[in-house]
Amino acid sequence: MTDFASLLVADREQKARPIHLVDKQSFEAWLKKRPAEDRSLIEAMRFDGKTANAFVILPRGGEFEVVSAVKNTTELSPWCLAKLGESLPEGSYKLAAGEPGNAALGWLLAQHRFDQYRSKKEEEPERGPRVLVTGEVARIDAMVRLADATALVRDLVNTPAADLGPAEIERAVADEAKRCGGHLRVTSGSELTKGYPLIAAVGGAATDARAPRLIEFEWGKAGDPRIAIVGKGVCFDSGGLDLKSASGMRLMKKDMGGAAHALALTRLITLARLPVRLHLLIPAVENAVSGGAYRPGDVIKSRKGLFVEIDNTDAEGRLILADALTRASEENPELIVDFATLTGAARIALGPDLPAFFANNDDLAAEAEQSARTTEDPIWRMPLWEPYDEMLKSDLADFANAVNSPMAGCITAALFLKRFVPEGTRWAHLDTYAWRDQAKPGRPKGGDALGLRAVFALLEGLYSGD
Ligand code: BES
Ligand code: ZN
Ligand code: ZN
């Protein structure tokens, strides 16, 4: 794990190279005030102050200063320093004016690498850390934690399925429980078959070493408001007997992305010591193929007692979440949040960068959308459109797990989950991609946290009381 705390440090008037941030509005005025040799160098480099992420180095007799263009100098985006964090030489840096605020996040994450699987490390010759000096001492911890939580999601999602099965997810949760003193409970084997039939069915085809389980973790004071966080932990989604195509299966090591988000959120909540009684639930399975696989046409009685007909074994996420949501509801939480890489349809609707967000309460939805804006971690609300509920009808069971229609797939998946959430319980569901197909500064191609900061800010707003 990258030591983010060493990359964002308090200003004690130590030596640090200045970084001048300019934007379209401020550039000309800023340039006028510079010495002639700076101006000619900036001109020669064709630096126009408009192209975000472009930067120039101004020599200062053996040392240097940096000028970088950002979209808006008065409102720094979390990613506007990422290119610098990625590219500048080793050393300490400080903004020439103002403080980095949220932009510290990009600076930190730009220096995170997932290179366990490379015999040659990416940065060769080895480059030292780029340290950002900040006067906002009170925010350092929070920024470091956000970077750390994001890196946790990235690393878990990037780890190949062969090295990250249900047992390894359990280990990750157990490590977290040990760190913060929470209580861990893991249900597997015959207890799982009895208590969580849908989780057991989906995980039934996996080898013994990758047996399905429900991982639960509780933390916090008994009297504090109860919240549940649920994450889809499908370590690999082959589709089951309704086998995916080669291209459809290619990225499916990331199908535990919801679990990774849920665990990272747990880390943020416990480190911030939010006054909540937290219940984390991760159904962890591999959706594999073998003689033990569940089949299309099977009917399974869920933990809630509702009979589900399996229309498609590739719609496995909603099944394992259904039993986990039922378990969560048994403790009467006032809020349930789930994260899941649930449907391809959410990606068709909103593309890779925008998690589809569903909520059964308009106030909750409005607060979540506001948090998404302030953290610049976008989510997009989609409707729990009741008339589509009938699409889930089954000829012989209470309802089916999938719909024989390519339309509104993320809505019908959310409506399926809704059947397992009690009427009066506030519930938010994020259908997230957990992946980035194209690298951006501070955000390499691969696993990524999408919606994590927005939901954490939502919880802070609801519970931190300030
Ligand atoms: N894990 C997939 C969803 C997914 C696919 C997320 C691609 C991100 C990218 C999920 O288990 C799945 O296979 N869903 C099916 C549901 C269908 C069979 C009703 C889908 O979306 O095609
Ligand atoms: Zn699937
Ligand atoms: Zn899946």
Distance from the alpha carbon of residue 273 to the mean position of ligand 1, in angstroms? 35
DSSP per position, 335-384: EEEEEE---HHHHHHH-SSS-EEEES-HHHHHHHHHHHHHHT---EE---
Q: Which ligand 1 atom sits closest to the C-alpha of 239?
A: 13
CATH class of the region 145-463: alpha beta
Q: Whose CA is nearest to atom 17 of ligand 1?
A: 315
Integer Cα distance of 172 and 178 in angstroms = 10
Q: Whose CA is nearest to atom 7 of ligand 1?
A: 344
Residue 170 · residue 285 · CB < 8 Å: no
Q: Whose CA is nearest to atom 8 of ligand 1?
A: 344
Residue 408 amino acid letter: A
In a 10 Å sphere around its CB, with 0-12 CB exposed, 13-18 middle and 19+ buried, how is residue 90 labelled? exposed
Which tokens belong to 147? Answer: 């970077």
CATH class of the region 4-111: alpha beta
- Please say whether the dihedral angle defined by the alpha carbons of residues 42, 43, 48 and 51, taken in this order, is positive or negative: negative
Q: Using most ligand atoms within 8 A of CB, pick from 241, 286, 294, 314 the residue to mutate for ligand 1.
A: 314
Catalytic residues: 244, 318
Residue 256 amino acid letter: M
Strands (E), 53-127: 55-60, 63-69, 91-95
Residue 303 · residue 195 · CB < 8 Å: yes
Q: Give the CA-trace dihedral at 299, 197, 153, 376, to 10 degrees.
A: 60
Helices of type H across 62-112: 82-87, 104-109
Distance from the alpha carbon of residue 41 to the mean position of ligand 1, in angstroms? 52
pLDDT tens, N- to C-terminus, the chain (466 residues) = 799 999 999 999 999 999 999 999 999 999 999 999 999 999 999 999 999 899 999 999 999 999 999 999 999 999 999 999 999 999 999 999 999 999 999 999 999 999 999 997 665 556 789 999 999 999 999 999 999 999 999 999 999 999 999 999 999 999 999 999 999 999 999 999 999 999 999 999 999 999 999 999 999 999 999 999 999 999 999 999 999 999 999 999 999 999 999 999 999 999 999 999 999 999 999 999 999 999 999 999 999 999 999 999 999 999 999 999 999 999 999 999 999 999 999 999 999 999 999 999 999 999 999 999 999 999 999 999 999 999 999 999 999 999 888 899 999 999 999 999 999 999 999 999 999 999 999 999 999 999 999 999 999 999 996 5
Ligand 1 neighbour 237 (Cβ under 6 A): yes
pTM of the predicted structure, to 2 decimals: 0.98
Residue 238 amino acid letter: S
How far is residue 228 CA from its own chain's centroid? 17
Dump pLDDT digits (tens) for 76-130. 999 999 999 999 999 999 999 999 999 999 999 999 999 999 997 665 556 789 9
Q: Which ligand 1 atom sits closest to the C-alpha of 248?
A: 7
Q: Which ligand 1 atom sits closest to the C-alpha of 234?
A: 1
- Domain borders along the chain are 4-111, 145-463
Q: Whose CA is nearest to atom 5 of ligand 1?
A: 344
Distance from the alpha carbon of residue 119 to the mean position of ligand 1, in angstroms? 33
